[in-house]
Amino acid sequence: MYEAFYGFRESPFRVTPDPRFLYRNPAIDEAVAALIYGVERRKGFLSLVGEVGTGKTTLLRHLLDSLPPTTQTVFILYPTVQFEEMLEHILHELGIPTDGAGKFTKLQRLHEFLLEHTRSGGNAAILLDEAQDLDGRVLEELRLLSNLETGTEKILQIILAGQPEFERKLAQPALRQLRQRIALHVRLRALAPTEVSAYIRSRLERAGAQDGSLFTPDALGRIAEVTEGIPRLVNVLCDSSLVTGFAAGAKQISRAIVDEAWADYASLSAPDELTGSVAPAASAPVASPHVPSSPVPAPGPSDPAVAPAPAPVAPPVTTPVPEPDDDETMHAETPGGTTPAPRRGWPAAWLIAAASTLAAASALWAMGPRLLALVR
């Protein structure tokens, strides 16, 4: 779309793992050298770990082109299969006939092929991408493949490339034997801000750009900031910026164009996937004051400010409770247990009792003469 407008031979920011566009910095060169060393020195198991989008697959494809032709290689991109299917694929890639043989026979044929290939000065390497998705049982079967060896050297090298989750999987106690057999651990990191600018210029040059200042310094700084140096995100944002610039007829990509392209892309992805940031937690709702359903009109200028009369409240319903003794504590039953109820005032109870006693005494006094007459 924009290639002719900007003078490119091809699109510079495709997200496919094209080894021609591999950006070489000290970290990449060190990783490539370590993997080549591990394969050529027959170290057995090697691991390559990097965050999502840091270029593991591109590096593996570059490694395939860098190994000597005497090294037979098998590249496995789909690890979510059973070991028997993986073994069938390995034999097919190495040109070993299977003829519907069983698992034991296939392993025997693989062993025989590797021994013969090693005697003739050859080597063999299996490269497994997305290793974090490998089932634990498949990893254990792969560990047993490392038993295919002579008395002095390994005859099969296996590179396991995956995301940081793969390291956490290796930490499981059930995989400790495999973890101990990994001779080299290689890590890929994100690009530094200065490396992002060099990365972009490198890809532009490989695509045939004549002007190395297509992206302004502010635009390059903004790309490094929002992508945090993840090469895949850099490719996506640069490609989108070029499309936006082409639509606007801009011959140079400014920070404003980058911001516009990033706003469109960022709205489709979670914040932690883009920049590692975490969205702020939603604040708790604030209770709003109660507003009456039928508002009272405000008093006019000549009306006195009179507070509205409160709504009538129904009197509480009470249930008579027997009078307690002076030494007893009264309790009212509640759903959660018993709660002490308030006691009546003792002076009132004493007055009632005294009045009753005086009334009885007066009655007896009035009946005194009659009682005396009866006794006589």
- Model's pTM, two decimal places? 0.70
> CATH no. for residue 257?
1.10.8
The rounded distance, in Å, linking the Cα atoms of 265 and 268 is 6
Taking the alpha carbons of 98, 102, 105, 107 in that order, is the dihedral positive or negative?
A: positive
Domain that holds residue 64: 24-188
Position 323 in a domain: no
Q: How many domains does the chain have?
A: 2
- Is the backbone of residue 307 left (phi > 0), alpha (psi -120 to 50) or beta? beta
Position 230 in a domain: yes
Position 38 in a domain: yes
Per-residue pLDDT of the chain (376 residues; tens, 9 = 90+): 899 999 999 999 999 999 999 999 999 999 999 999 999 999 999 999 999 999 999 999 999 999 999 999 999 998 889 999 999 999 999 999 988 889 999 999 999 999 999 999 999 999 999 999 999 999 999 999 988 888 899 999 999 999 999 999 999 999 999 999 999 999 999 999 999 999 999 999 999 998 778 999 999 999 999 999 999 999 999 999 999 999 999 999 999 999 999 997 777 655 445 444 333 333 333 333 444 444 444 444 444 333 444 444 444 444 444 444 444 433 334 344 444 444 444 454 544 555 555 555 555 555 555 544 444 4
- Same domain flag for 120 and 225: no
Q: Is 23 helix (H, G, I), strand (E, B) or coil?
A: coil
The residue whose two tokens read 């890809």 is 203
- Same domain flag for 104 and 212: no
Q: Is 182 helix (H, G, I), strand (E, B) or coil?
A: strand
- Same domain flag for 247 and 113: no
Q: Is 278 helix (H, G, I), strand (E, B) or coil?
A: coil
Question: Where a domain ends, among 138, 158, 188?
Answer: 188
Q: Which two tokens stand for residue 74?
A: 């098998």
The residue whose two tokens read 């008093």 is 299
> CATH no. for residue 130?
3.40.50.300
Position 76 in a domain: yes
Position 337 in a domain: no
- Same domain flag for 162 and 215: no
